[in-house]
Structure 1
Amino acid sequence: MFLGAILEQLGDRSFGWAILLSCLINLLPLPPGATLITAIPLLIFCGQLSLGFSSVRLPKRIARIRIPLEAMRRNVLRLRPVSRRLERIARPRLPAVFHPKREQFIGCLLFLVSLALFVPLPLSGWFPAIALFVASIGLVERDGIIVLAGVCAGVFSIALTAFVAASILIGANSLLH
């Protein structure tokens, strides 16, 4: 089965899955500046969500990647213990969050969080990635409460990124004068 077909079949939940998998990469201990590359898919997925796309759209070359069904089945079974724990917490709640216009607004906010992740500042990358991860779980499970928790954490991470950037600028300015 092709990757593009899998995401298309997931429909609006494809955004949650795409963001979730992209966040996992950003939660790994990576060298400084790696987020300049690893945040690009998040910017694309969140941008598509904010534009009101019905599912994630990938470039044709990536969409044509073949995923062997047996390998996909094995990976899903391996994730079963984790997914069972998440399903105890996350469940469809607060459906008003998923109204198309509100979902686009959430996509805009998540895009801003992705921008905060994209900025290569020390000690500021994990917070946006965690916020996006939480929001993506809410998108997958259609849990408006978890999505709002992720968005609130995202707003905090944007403020933290702005604070770190301002501190660096103030410190650099004081060294120069």
Structure 2
Amino acid sequence: MTLGNLLSALGEASFGWAIVVFSLLTLLPLPPGSSLITALPLLVTTGQMMLGHPHVRLPGPLARLRLDPDKLRRTVLRLRPVTRRLERILTPRHAALFAPRHERPLGLFLFIIAFALFLPVPLSGWFPAISLFIFGVGLVERDGLVATFGLAFGAASVLLTATILISLGIGADAMIN
């Protein structure tokens, strides 16, 4: 089993799972500026969603990465208590958000959030990552209410990033002039 085969087998659900996993990777306590690297998979994933791909397509070496079925099964079993709790809260609702006609606009908006995460702006990286995680969980569980909350939090995080960038620009301009 390869990572590419797994994502292909997940189909449209691969977008949600990829967004969840890659946003969690970004939330790890890493050195400042690491979001330049950890946000790249999110940019690729959301970009593919925006372009209307049927599932996440990884670059060749990543797609050919072999997965140990036993380790994958053990990992899924260890995560089961967490997923059971989430499944009690998350239910398929407001499914119209996930209609095929909304996939590209959602992908565009998620790409913008991922781009805000990609920018090395002080004190703003976690907010886009959390919003992408929330949206990804909503997408996996087809819970439009949770996904909408993730989008709203993402819009706020983009505004926060823009505000910080504008403030830095005004400050730099004031120091130069």
Smaller-chain TM-score range? over 0.9
Aligned to 2:145: 145
Residues 133-172 of structure 1 aligned to structure 2 (within 5 Å): 133-172=133-172
Identity %: 53
Question: Which whole-Å CA distance do the structure 2 matches of 1:84 and 1:95 have between them?
Answer: 21
More divergent stretch after superposition (40-49 vs 164-173): 164-173
- The CA deviation at 1:98 is 1.1
Aligned to 1:21: 21
Once superposed, which parts of structure 1, at least 4 consecutive aligned residues long, lie more than 2 Å away? none
More divergent stretch after superposition (27-36 vs 129-138): 27-36
Cα RMSD after superposing both structures: 0.9
Residues 15-164 of structure 1 aligned to structure 2 (within 5 Å): 15-164=15-164
How many residues were matched structurally? Answer: 177
- The CA deviation at 1:33 is 1.2
- The CA deviation at 1:162 is 0.3
- Tell me the SS of whatever aligns to 2:146: helix
More divergent stretch after superposition (137-146 vs 124-133): 137-146
- Tell me the SS of whatever aligns to 1:132: helix
CA contact (8 A) 1:117 1:124 kept: yes
TM-score of the two chains, using structure 2 as the length reference: 0.97
Task: Give ranges in structure 2 of 5+ residues lacking alignment.
Answer: none
Question: Which whole-Å CA distance do the structure 2 matches of 1:111 and 1:91 have between them?
Answer: 25
Question: Which whole-Å CA distance do the structure 2 matches of 1:9 and 1:25 have between them?
Answer: 22
CA contact (8 A) 1:124 1:160 kept: yes
Question: Which whole-Å CA distance do the structure 1 matches of 2:5 and 2:61 have between them?
Answer: 13
